[in-house]
Amino acid sequence: MPRSDWEERTVQANGNRVHVRIAGTSGPMVLLCHGFPESSYSWHHQLDALAAGGYRAVAMDMPGYGRSSKPIQPSDYRVTELVAACVGVVEALGEAQSVVVGHDFGAPVAWTAAWTRPDVFRAVVGISLPFGARGMAALPGDPFGDQRPSVTHSALAGDDAVFYQEYFADPSGVAEKEMEADLRAFVTSGFYGLSADSPLPPEMEGVDLTNLPLEFLIQWIRAAMCVHHGEGFASNLQYPDQLPPWLDQETLDIFIDELETGGMRAPLAWYTNADLNWEVLGPYQGTPVTVPAMFIGGDRDVGTIWSQEARFRQDEYVKDLRRSVIIPNCGHWIPQEHPEVVNTELLTFLKGL
């Protein structure tokens, strides 16, 4: 539920307005970066837990979302600009350093922040996606971005479909039109359809989805995360008869209200920069993440499933990976589906720094 004792503030960061929710008035700062299609409210379970643990927890409305600025140019959402916004929030709140935590698309932003600005971000936690270097998404077959993401996307999708990130980035605006046609239905089915509460196909019951042979993993991606020509992304999702127990109606309404106010164009613009992100991160390729790090995934989470190659090879690139956790019976919305586990893991990691 919305908390009246959270401090809400709008700061200037990297030339933009950034709205933040803050819990805790003192202690080391922990910056929380959400993903698609959420907001700073995604961290409502973590804000109080971190504050109670002695930390100053700061959840951002990432650029393009919520009450933060929504730049017009898609390139303004390239990862270096998003990292600069994170740095700007730390500085605007009077801090020199912070731990950075990210979920979904917020995870590669957090990893990149710790990778490229370890002077500011002294530790990192990636939730759903492990470190993917300049490729960011840690995709199978090319987990650390040795080739352009668009090439990897095409190889994953095959000839009769497009990877969902390419669909989201389509310059015709087809994804925006699909989502805006019934935003409530899209968001509701997205939360449910990518959670552990949505049923698996019978042939997948009992299968360890987090350790699939590459051939079967690619088949799964084509079935679950690609959009076939003439269809929309919603065809991959399921609409629930009732909301799952971890998602109450008020929380869902908050996300939908924020997206209805700001629209989907800016959130989708993040996805247009896959190749540009790859280019601007080129100078860092081959250098490791040096700060203390942790990964948290879910055994039913799409990101955890497709990133298995990157997860198994993290120690090649993340030199101080202190823990890698896979939460059982957990889908994509990890901080909300299993908040107690996430909070415990975060606090244990933070206390060890």
Residues identified as active-site: 104, 332
Q: Which residues contact 186 (CB under 8 A, 6 or more apart)?
A: 178, 179, 234
**Burial of 229 by CB count in 10 Å (0-12 exposed, 13-18 middle, 19+ buried)?**
exposed
Rounded distance, CA 188 to CA 243, Å? 8
Q: Report yes or no: 55 and 24 within 8 Å, Cβ to Cβ.
A: yes
345: left (phi over 0), alpha (psi -120 to 50) or beta: alpha
In 3-state terms, the chain is what percent helix, strand and coil (to 5)? 45, 15, 35
Q: Could you give phi then psi for residue 179, rounded to 5 degrees?
A: -70, -40
Per the DSSP assignment, residues forming a β-bridge with 226 are 163
Q: Report yes or no: 217 and 229 within 8 Å, Cβ to Cβ.
A: no
Rounded distance, CA 97 to CA 134, Å? 23
336: left (phi over 0), alpha (psi -120 to 50) or beta: alpha
Q: Are strands 293-298 and 321-327 parallel, antiparallel or unpaired?
A: parallel
